[in-house]
Amino acid sequence: MILQVENVSKAFGGLQALLNLTFDLPEGQILG
């Protein structure tokens, strides 16, 4: 895998922008 995103969350104060995001991106793939 060239990129692995594991349970990523991001909050700005009380605003939850990302919540438990998980995905893998194999090398050579276009993901969109």
Partner 1 sequence: MIGPNGAGKTTLFNVINGVYPPSKGKVIFRGEDVTGFKPYHLAHKGLARTHQIVKPLNELTVRENVMVGACFGRRAASLAEARSTADQVLDFLGLIDRADNLAGTLNVAQKKRLEMARALASHPYLLLLDEVLAGLNSSEIDMMVDSVRKIREQGPLFS
Residues forming beta bridges with residue 18, ordered by sequence position: 10
Minimum distance from CB of 15 to partner 1 (Å)? 10
Cβ(2)–Cβ(26) under 8 Å?
A: yes
Minimum distance from CB of 24 to partner 1 (Å)? 9
Which residues inside 1-32 make contact with partner 1, applying CB under 8 A? 1-11, 17-18, 20-21, 25, 27-32
CA-closest candidate to residue 5, choices 28, 29, 19, 21 = 21
Instruction: Give residues in contact with partner 1 (CB under 8 A).
Output: 1-11, 17-18, 20-21, 25, 27-32
